[in-house]
């Protein structure tokens, strides 16, 4: 069973059918999509050195812009401990330059929370809570408690230093595409990073390829 289906429980059936397919990952299967982010924005310029460092770990980047080509690849696999993992590779193309916002997710079965390790190697950990909107079958994902990852150590971050993400994803039937809006905010700075746009499955039937 998909870690997202497990975490959502009965809510999973309220997802739009295309989002159900998109989040029904299983081993040896993957989802690939291409599209355009109509807007990518970031925080204040004094954060740019931090963003440049983030590019080394495929986590955040300083570039901004409009109509940025986008590619997403979700791959399901097993970790060294046998737990199911879903790898997220999100690629943004600024001309010949590629930037990434990557993550590795697993399931905490006791808390029914998705565990999200951001960056490669991981620099940040966050609990993720999923909520389905029954009216349009969209999904909202919110980051909760965060920790800094230093090798095998994970240090809880005070709320003032956290960058909390809100992700909204829905299926647009009239355009046959997935809409996504991601915003990362800090309690003091405000918006640190955001992007919004659409993508379609690379498989014409909108099914998983594997």
Mean pLDDT to the nearest integer, 184-208:
83
What pLDDT, on the 0 to 100 scale, is given for residue 28? Answer: 65
Q: What is the pLDDT of residues 77-107, one digit of tens each?
A: 888 788 889 999 999 999 999 999 999 999 9
What pLDDT, on the 0 to 100 scale, is given for residue 209? Answer: 39
- Compute the distance between CA of residue 15 and CA of residue 11 in angstroms, rounded to an integer: 7
What pLDDT, on the 0 to 100 scale, is given for residue 37? Answer: 98
For residue 187, CA distances in Å to 67, 94, 165 come to 28, 29, 12
Per the CB < 8 A criterion, the answer to whether 185 and 191 are in contact is yes
Q: What is the pLDDT of residues 19-70, one digit of tens each?
A: 999 998 777 678 999 999 999 999 888 999 989 999 999 999 999 999 999 9
pLDDT of residue 193 exceeding 90: yes
What is the DSSP-derived secondary structure letter of residue 109?
A: T
The residue ranking higher by pLDDT, 202 or 177, is: 177
* 115 alpha-carbon distance from chain centroid: 12
Q: What is the pLDDT of residues 7-19, one digit of tens each?
A: 999 999 999 999 9
Q: How confident is the model at residue 205 (pLDDT cuts 50, 70, 90)?
A: very low
- Compute the distance between CA of residue 62 and CA of residue 39 in angstroms, rounded to an integer: 14
Q: What is the pLDDT of residues 163-179, one digit of tens each?
A: 999 999 999 999 999 99
Burial, 117: exposed, middle or buried (Cβ in 10 Å; 0-12, 13-18, 19+)?
buried
What pLDDT, on the 0 to 100 scale, is given for residue 105? Answer: 97
What pLDDT, on the 0 to 100 scale, is given for residue 30? Answer: 84
Strands, E assignment, 44-203: 68-78, 84-94, 97-100, 103-108, 113-118, 124-133, 138-150, 153-156, 164-172, 177-186, 190-201
Domains of the chain, with CATH numbers? 3-201 (2.40.128)
Query: Counting every residue, how long is the chain?
Result: 210
Mean pLDDT to the nearest integer, 108-113:
91
Site of tokens 């992700």:
167
Tokens describing residue 189: 């700075």
Q: How confident is the model at residue 1 (pLDDT cuts 50, 70, 90)?
A: confident
pLDDT of residue 203 exceeding 80: no
């Amino acid at each position: 069973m998909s870690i997202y289906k497990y975490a959502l429980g009965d809510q999973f059936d309220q997802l739009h059918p295309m989002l159900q397919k998109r989040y029904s990952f299983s081993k040896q299967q993957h989802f690939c999509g291409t599209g355009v982010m109509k807007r990518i924005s970031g925080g204040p310029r004094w954060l740019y050195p931090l963003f440049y460092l983030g590019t080394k770990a495929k986590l955040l980047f300083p570039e901004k812009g409009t109509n940025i080509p986008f590619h997403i690849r979700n791959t399901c696999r097993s970790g060294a401990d046998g737990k199911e993992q879903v790898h997220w590779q999100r690629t943004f193309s600024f001309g010949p330059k590629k930037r990434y916002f990557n993550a590795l997710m697993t399931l905490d079965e006791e808390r029914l929370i998705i565990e999200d390790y951001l960056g490669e190697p991981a620099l940040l950990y966050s609990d993720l809570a999923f909520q389905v909107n029954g009216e349009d079958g969209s999904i909202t994902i919110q980051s909760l408690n965060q920790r800094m990852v230093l090798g095998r150590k994970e240090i809880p971050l005070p709320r003032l230093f956290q960058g909390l993400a809100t992700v909204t994803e829905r299926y647009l039937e009239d355009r046959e595409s997935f809409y996504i809006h991601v915003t990362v905010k800090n309690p003091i700075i405000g918006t640190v990073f955001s992007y919004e746009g659409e993508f379609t499955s690379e498989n014409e039937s909108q099914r998983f390829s594997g």
